Structure formats: C-alpha cells, structure tokens
C-alpha cells in the first residue's frame, strides 16, 4: 500500500510538471535558482572572446605534427587548462598519415606550411596571393614546390568534359567555381598539371562579398602524397579580374608559385580533461568541440573550443571555492580534430557506450546575429538514438533567454534560438551513432562566413557566447548532478516533447491524407497511406520508450525506476487514442470520396521489405565520401532516382545504417526515415541496403 501511494504521488508530480503553466515557466530547469545564479554569474563572454582571439592565431589543420599550427594550438589549450586548475588533462596522439584508419575513417596526411606565394608573371608582375597575408589563400595539404608555367583556364574544372581538347600537363590550371579538391584531382592527379588556382563557388549568400576567399582543402590519401601538388584560392574580385585575360582578345598568362610546405606522417592530438564525479565517476557527461580549422576559423570553431574552456574553468573555480560540490557524475571535455579525431577517439575508447550518458557538441557558438545572419540552433539527436539532453538544453535556453543576460562589450540583440531536427556534419554524428552509443546533440549557428577568410573574431559576439555557454553549463550541471527528483523532471520534459511530437504527427497525417485525397490516384493508394500513418505513431512510441530508458539511468533508487514503467506504458495508450482519431478521419474521408475504407495494406515491395532484417558489420558512421568512392558509377542511381530518395538524402543514409541492428526490418526503417526527414520510397531503402551488403557494411537476407 505504501508503494502504491508513492507511485500515485509520482504520477501527480509528473502531471503537474506537464501542465501548460509549468511548461511555459522560466523555472523549468532541473537545477535550483541559487546554482543557476552561481553558474551564470561566473561565466564570462569576455573571457571566451579572449580565448577565441588567441586560438584563431593558429593555422589549425588536422594531421599536423611537431611545429604545426594545430599542435601549437593544442599546447595553448593545455597550458590554459592547467592554469585554470583542471586535473586529468591528457593529450592522446593518433597517427595521421593518410593510411591509418579509425572505424573506417581514413586519417588525413600530416601537413606543415611555412610560406606560400602566388605571382602573376605575365602579362604583368603582380602578387596574387600570400599565405602570410591570408592563410585561407593556400589550400591545406598543398605540397611544396617552385613552379612557373602558363595558366590554362578550364571553366569549372569539375568533370572530364571541362578538359576535353585541353592539354594541362606541365601547366597551371585556373578554374572558377570552387571545389579545389575536385579541380586538383582532375587537373593534377589525373592529368599532370603543376598546380591549381581556383575561384569561389556560386553560393548565393556570398555573392555580395567580393573579397571573401573560401577555404578549399585538398584531400590526398597516403598513396597520393607523392603526386600531390599545390592549390591557391581566389576571391570573387580576383577571379573576375583574372578571367578578363581569357576572354575576348586572349593574353598569355604565366604564374609562379613558391610554396614551402610538406606532407608527412603526422598525428591527430585529442585533448581530454575531466571533472571527476563524486558518486558515479564511471558515468560521463561528454562535452566536445573541434579545435582544428584554418586560420582564423573564429566562429568555426575557436568559439566552440573557447566555450569548452570557459565551462571547464568556471565549474572548476566554483568547486575550488566551495560554492559548488563536485558533480555526482564525471564531466568529460574533449577538444578534437573534427570527425577524424572523433573516430580515432572512439576507436580506442571502446567502452564509451557504457560510460557516456550523453554528448553535447559545441560547433560555431559565438556568431553575431546581425553580422553573420545567423540564429542559434539546438540540433536534436536522431530518432535512432533519441536521448534526453535536447529537452534539458531547450529548457535551459528558455531560462537564460528570460534573464536577458549580456556581456559588457557584447550586442543587445535578443536571444534568437530554435530547435531543429537531426543533421550531421560534426563530431556528434560519430558519438550518437548507436554502435558507439552516446546520444548526442549539436549546438551552433548557421553562418554565411564559415569556411572563409571572413570568419574572423570580429564576427563573434560576447553576449551570444555568454548565453550559449550558460545554457550549456546549466544543462551539463543538471545532468551531471541529477538525482531521482531531477530525473523525474527530465522525464516530464521528455514526455511533454513526445506528446507534442505525437499530436503534430497526427495533424501532419490528417493533412497528408487530405491533400492526397484530391488526387485521382487516391482510391488506389488510400489503404497503403493508411498503413503508413498508423505506423508512424507506433514508431514515435518506440522513440519515447528509448528516451525514457536513458533518463532512467539517472535514477538512484529502484522505486523511482519502477515509475518509468508506468510512464512508458502511457505512451501506448496515447498512440491508441491518436490512431483511433486517424482511423475515424480515414473512414470519413473515404466516405466523402465514395470509396471503400479498406484496412491497412502493404505494397508488394513493402511485403518484401518486412522480411529483410539487416545487421551492421562495422562501428561508426560511414565517411562522407565512402559510398561515392566505393560504388563509382553505380552511385548515380541515387541522383537519377532522387524522387524515390526524397529530401535530406545524406541524413537518410546515415539513419538507415543506424537502424541496421539485427531486429528492425527494412519497412520499419523506411517508416522511421520518412517520418524523420521526409517521405522515402521503399525501393530506395532496399537498394541502399543492397549496396551496403555489397560493400560488406551490413549483412542482410536480400
């Protein structure tokens, strides 16, 4: 009887937490106000801004060895962490030679550069580019050399067609549409050119910035090191100026490149620091950010690296001063070479799925909204690894927003943030892969200037830095110190989010059925669509259960854990109610259209898909160019059948592999990716699984 009373009290507690008043209150954070005040007042956007200035001095190209800009940036971060009083600061160095691979990701080659200049010799003498003026002008991983030759214009320079009837061997190639690595591969590696000079892409948002230089990186493998030459990037103004010599009355153009750089067996340093947990040291909250990038690389990603330093220093100071007790769980900080370094780290730390409760990736967190035309986004984890940290972050952001905090030299612009669905592109994509097992999200901004010479510290805003860092610190401290009471609050937020998502899914399904009912083919498709909308609600129930199971790990007593069984069971009842509404609407629609309201039906390929149960054979996500490189011409199927693939193709491919766990069938996988990223044809899923099987990435009964 006593247990029943406690369970009833817990249910009432959750109901109160789910009430509209609570959901809208700025008190909806799982830390007390005193702790929140201590954290927010200790965090400084000004200090973070100073860290950005210092990190952005270094040309931080991953793979660098002794004396490289990246290694000097590593030394600076380590020295600063030591001065801040952090313990357990460690640097792990992974071979990076273009041959070594980590969970299938081939390491970059090592690279160092001292100087590089590009001169026009004819028709007049002019300095075109100088690495010491703008580091971005030299393409990273350029090899050294001193070459003088005629310049040959090849248009975009991206395809074989651009080189038809043109001899470029022993010449310098000029292309005008970005993608320096592609131009270098076509002109140098395939045709023997001495080097490449490449203008910017036609990205519409950058057309007005005539002097902006886009970062364009060469990507040689270990086998290609000996053949790799050099590349320079030009601004739009420089490109237009140079094009004049190749149009109308042609003038012979001769250039000279002087590059002091080398490719070698390098290394990827990963910095790790930790604030040890007092009760559960083997459970970790993992904060990550990539330290590498071209110079200056301020927002991308000196800002995220600086944010980690500020959080680590602020928490350490508050604990040292006795204002905060040590967290119950360990807080792990990682400064990584982006993606490749993450792959190397998880390949060594194979038990990370048991230690890592969640991950937060800080990538481009300091943007000045007006200068960078940005907003702050909270990128959710994928449906395959939902976790719970995104709801904690969202509530913390709302709390910070209500406070209206700013920094002395920062802007007065309101906090402009929103949650967005999953997309990859940074280190969280590695950690949240289910085979790695750390549900992770990304915090950052869109930025018109990223990967360009305009990504400078003046584009950063101390106010925005303080807001984002405070949001992250609140969520980190809340989860690192969570007890049963906190876990129940987090569970309430997860359940609230899930109910919103379920209701939205029902509304979207009704709208979809209604729109399709206006088409002539509706009578023949109605039963197939009916199956899909019912399945989507069931998929959401599975996501909710998995997220709640992750929250349950924060509980310390068996009594609290039992409550999660009750909350999870409620998801089933909610789905039944929603599907009853969908069933009634479907029947109503069929009656209006004077067609038979047939039960859920499977197409022939869907029946086949139900029997296909794939299981992955490797850890981690696929490298981004893996399929293109391995499939060759067969990869064209996806572009030719883009309607069957639908939107967000890369994320869909990522998620298909995530769901290949030996228990999900191909039809279920189709339903998940369709609900998450937009409709995908079952033919796409089956074809993709066949390709994965052919490449020995999965085993499947296809």
Structural domain of residue 114, as residue ranges?
A: 110-264
CA 6, distance to chain mean position in Å, is 42
Beta-carbon contacts of residue 79 (< 8 Å; ≥ 6 apart): none
State pLDDT tens for residues 211-236: 999 999 998 999 999 999 999 999 99
State pLDDT tens for residues 426-473: 999 999 999 999 999 999 999 999 999 999 999 999 999 999 999 999
pLDDT band at 247 (very low <50, low <70, confident <90, very high): confident
CB 661 within 8 A of CB 616: yes
| Same domain membership, residue 216 and residue 81 | no
Judge whether 40 lies within some domain: no
Pairing relationship of beta strands 145-153 and 254-264 according to DSSP bridges:
antiparallel
User: Which has more confidence, 610 or 67?
Assistant: 610
- By three-state DSSP, how is residue 112 classified? strand
Judge whether 441 lies within some domain: yes
pLDDT band at 559 (very low <50, low <70, confident <90, very high): confident
Instruction: Over range 141-146, report the average pLDDT.
Output: 97
Residue 16 has pLDDT above 80, yes or no: no
Q: What is the pLDDT of residue 14?
A: 45
Handedness of CA 417, 419, 421, 423 (dihedral sign): positive
Q: What is the pLDDT of residue 1?
A: 39
CA–CA gap between residue 159 and residue 168 (Å, rounded) = 14
Q: What is the pLDDT of residue 66?
A: 84
pLDDT band at 27 (very low <50, low <70, confident <90, very high): low
Judge whether 44 lies within some domain: no
Residue 287 has pLDDT above 60, yes or no: yes
Instruction: Report how many domains make up the chain.
Output: 4
Instruction: Over range 386-396, report the average pLDDT.
Output: 95
451-489 as b/e, with b when 16 or more CB fall inside 10 Å? bbbbbbbebbbbbbbbbbbbbbbbbbbbbbbbebebbbb
Judge whether 50 lies within some domain: no
pLDDT band at 19 (very low <50, low <70, confident <90, very high): very low
| Same domain membership, residue 439 and residue 384 | yes
Structure tokens at 620: 């981690």
Judge whether 258 lies within some domain: yes
Beta-carbon contacts of residue 418 (< 8 Å; ≥ 6 apart): 375, 376, 377, 378
The residue out of 601, 636, 658 marking a domain boundary is 601
Judge whether 102 lies within some domain: no
pLDDT band at 67 (very low <50, low <70, confident <90, very high): confident
pLDDT band at 4 (very low <50, low <70, confident <90, very high): very low
Question: pTM of the prediction?
Answer: 0.94
Q: What is the pLDDT of residue 37?
A: 95
CA–CA gap between residue 436 and residue 349 (Å, rounded) = 10
| Same domain membership, residue 161 and residue 252 | yes
Give the CATH number of the domain where residue 457 resides. 3.40.630.10
CA–CA gap between residue 109 and residue 95 (Å, rounded) = 9
DSSP labels, 214-240? B-------GGGTTT--EEEE--HHHHH
| Same domain membership, residue 607 and residue 596 | no
Structure tokens at 263: 């490719």
Q: What is the pLDDT of residue 386?
A: 94
Q: What is the pLDDT of residue 218?
A: 95
Closest to 492 in 3D by CA, of 563, 403, 593, 427: 563
CB 34 within 8 A of CB 483: no
Phi, psi of 362 (to 5 degrees): -100, 110
DSSP labels, 346-387? HHH-TTHHHHEEEEEEEES--B-HHHHT--EEEEPPPTTS--
| Same domain membership, residue 285 and residue 217 | no
| Same domain membership, residue 407 and residue 297 | yes
| Same domain membership, residue 313 and residue 455 | yes
The residue out of 582, 601, 620 marking a domain boundary is 601
Judge whether 46 lies within some domain: no
CB 656 within 8 A of CB 689: yes
Residue 3 has pLDDT above 60, yes or no: no
CA 288, distance to chain mean position in Å, is 12
| Same domain membership, residue 496 and residue 365 | no
State pLDDT tens for residues 677-700: 999 999 999 999 999 999 999 999
| Same domain membership, residue 473 and residue 351 | yes
Closest to 669 in 3D by CA, of 602, 627, 599, 610: 610
User: What H or E segment, with its residue span, contains residue 695?
Assistant: none
Q: Which of these ranges, 5-9, 134-138, 654-658, has the smallest mean pLDDT?
A: 5-9
DSSP labels, 441-452? EEEEE--TTTTB
State pLDDT tens for residues 304-336: 999 999 999 999 999 999 999 999 999 999 999
| Same domain membership, residue 404 and residue 285 | yes
* Farthest-apart Cα atoms in the chain, separation: 96
Instruction: Over range 587-609, report the average pLDDT.
Output: 94
Place of tokens 């949650």: 419
Judge whether 301 lies within some domain: yes
State pLDDT tens for residues 474-515: 999 999 999 999 999 899 889 989 999 999 999 999 999 999
Structure tokens at 30: 């799982």
CA–CA gap between residue 75 and residue 35 (Å, rounded) = 32
Beta strands in 526-640 (DSSP E): 615-616
| Same domain membership, residue 407 and residue 295 | yes
Instruction: Over range 527-537, report the average pLDDT.
Output: 94
Give the CATH number of the domain where residue 245 resides. 3.50.30.30
Residue 117 has pLDDT above 80, yes or no: yes
User: Which has more confidence, 694 or 2?
Assistant: 694
* pLDDT over 90 percentage in the chain: 88
Place of tokens 């009760």: 279
CA–CA gap between residue 116 and residue 111 (Å, rounded) = 14
| Same domain membership, residue 298 and residue 243 | no
C-alpha distances in Å from residue 186, one per residue of 31, 218, 263, 334, 639:
56, 12, 20, 37, 21
Residue 10 has pLDDT above 70, yes or no: no
User: What H or E segment, with its residue span, contains residue 275?
Assistant: strand 266-275
Place of tokens 């004049």: 244
pLDDT band at 2 (very low <50, low <70, confident <90, very high): very low
Instruction: Over range 643-650, report the average pLDDT.
Output: 95
CB 455 within 8 A of CB 449: yes
pLDDT band at 8 (very low <50, low <70, confident <90, very high): very low
């Amino acid at each position: 009887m006593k247990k029943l009373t406690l369970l009833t009290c817990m249910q009432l507690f959750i109901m109160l937490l789910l009430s509209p008043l609570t959901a809208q209150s700025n008190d909806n954070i799982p830390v007390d106000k005193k702790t929140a005040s201590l954290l927010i007042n200790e965090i400084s956007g000004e200090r973070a801004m100073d860290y950005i200035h210092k990190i952005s001095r270094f040309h931080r190209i991953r793979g660098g060895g002794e004396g490289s800009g990246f290694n000097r940036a590593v030394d600076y971060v380590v020295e600063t962490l030591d001065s801040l009083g952090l313990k357990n600061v460690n640097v792990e160095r992974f071979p990076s030679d273009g041959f070594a691979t980590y969970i299938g990701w081939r390491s970059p080659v090592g690279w160092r550069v001292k100087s590089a200049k590009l001169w026009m010799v004819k028709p007049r003498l002019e300095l075109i580019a100088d690495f010491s003026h703008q580091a971005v002008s030299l393409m990273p991983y350029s090899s050294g050399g001193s070459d003088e030759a005629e310049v040959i214009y090849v248009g975009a320079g991206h395809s074989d067609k651009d080189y038809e009837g043109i001899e470029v061997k022993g010449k310098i190639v000029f292309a005008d549409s970005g993608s320096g690595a592609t131009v270098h591969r076509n002109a140098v590696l395939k045709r023997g050119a001495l080097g490449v000079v490449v203008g910017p892409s036609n990205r519409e948002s950058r057309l007005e910035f005539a002097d902006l230089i886009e970062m364009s990186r060469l990507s040689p493998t270990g086998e290609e090191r000996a053949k790799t030459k050099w590349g320079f990037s030009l601004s739009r103004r420089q490109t237009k100026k140079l094009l004049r010599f190749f149009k109308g009355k042609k003038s012979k153009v001769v250039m000279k490149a002087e590059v002091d750089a080398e490719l070698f067996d390098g290394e990827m340093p990963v910095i790790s620091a930790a604030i040890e947990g007092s009760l559960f040291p083997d459970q970790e909250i993992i904060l990550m950010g990539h330290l590498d990038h071209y110079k200056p690389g301020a927002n991308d990603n000196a800002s995220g690296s600086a944010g980690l330093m500020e959080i680590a220093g602020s928490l350490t100071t508050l604990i040292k001063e006795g204002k905060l007790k040590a967290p119950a769980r360990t807080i792990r900080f990682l400064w990584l070479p982006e993606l490749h370094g993450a792959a190397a780290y998880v390949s060594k730390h194979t038990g990370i799925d048991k230690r890592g409760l969640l991950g937060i990736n800080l990538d481009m967190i300091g943007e000045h909204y007006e200068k960078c035309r940005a907003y702050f986004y909270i990128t959710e984890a994928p449906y395959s690894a939902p976790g719970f940290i995104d709801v904690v972050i969202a509530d913390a952001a709302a709390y910070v927003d209500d406070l209206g905090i700013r920094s002395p030299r920062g802007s007065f612009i309101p906090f402009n943030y929103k949650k967005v669905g999953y997309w990859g592109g940074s280190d969280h994509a590695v950690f949240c892969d289910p085979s790695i097992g750390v549900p992770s999200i990304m915090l950052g901004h869109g930025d018109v200037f990223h990967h360009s010479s305009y990504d400078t510290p003046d584009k950063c805003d101390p106010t925005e830095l303080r807001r984002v860092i405070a949001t992250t610190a609140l969520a980190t401290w809340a989860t690192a110190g969570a007890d049963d009471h906190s876990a129940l609050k987090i569970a309430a937020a997860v359940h609230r989010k899930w109910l919103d998502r379920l209701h939205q899914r029902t509304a979207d399904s009704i709208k979809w059925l209604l729109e399709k009912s206006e088409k002539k083919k509706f009578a023949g498709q109605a039963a197939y669509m009916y199956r899909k909308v019912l399945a989507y609600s069931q998929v959401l129930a599975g996501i909710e259960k998995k997220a709640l199971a992750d929250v349950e790990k924060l509980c310390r007593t068996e009594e609290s854990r039992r409550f999660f069984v009750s909350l999870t069971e409620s998801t089933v009842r909610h789905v039944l109610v929603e599907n009853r509404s969908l069933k009634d609407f479907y029947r109503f629609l069929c009656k209006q259209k004077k067609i038979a309201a047939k039960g859920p039906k499977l197409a022939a390929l869907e029946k086949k898909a139900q029997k296909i149960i794939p299981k992955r054979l490797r850890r981690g996500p696929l490298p981004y160019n893996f399929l293109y490189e391995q499939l060759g011409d067969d990869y064209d199927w996806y572009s030719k059948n883009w309607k069957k693939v639908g939107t967000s193709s890369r994320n869909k491919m990522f998620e298909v592999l995530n769901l290949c766990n030996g228990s999900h069938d191909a039809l279920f996988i189709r339903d998940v990716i369709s609900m998450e990223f937009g409709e995908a044809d079952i033919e796409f899923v089956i074809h993709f699984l066949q390709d994965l099987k052919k490449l020995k990435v999965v085993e499947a009964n296809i």
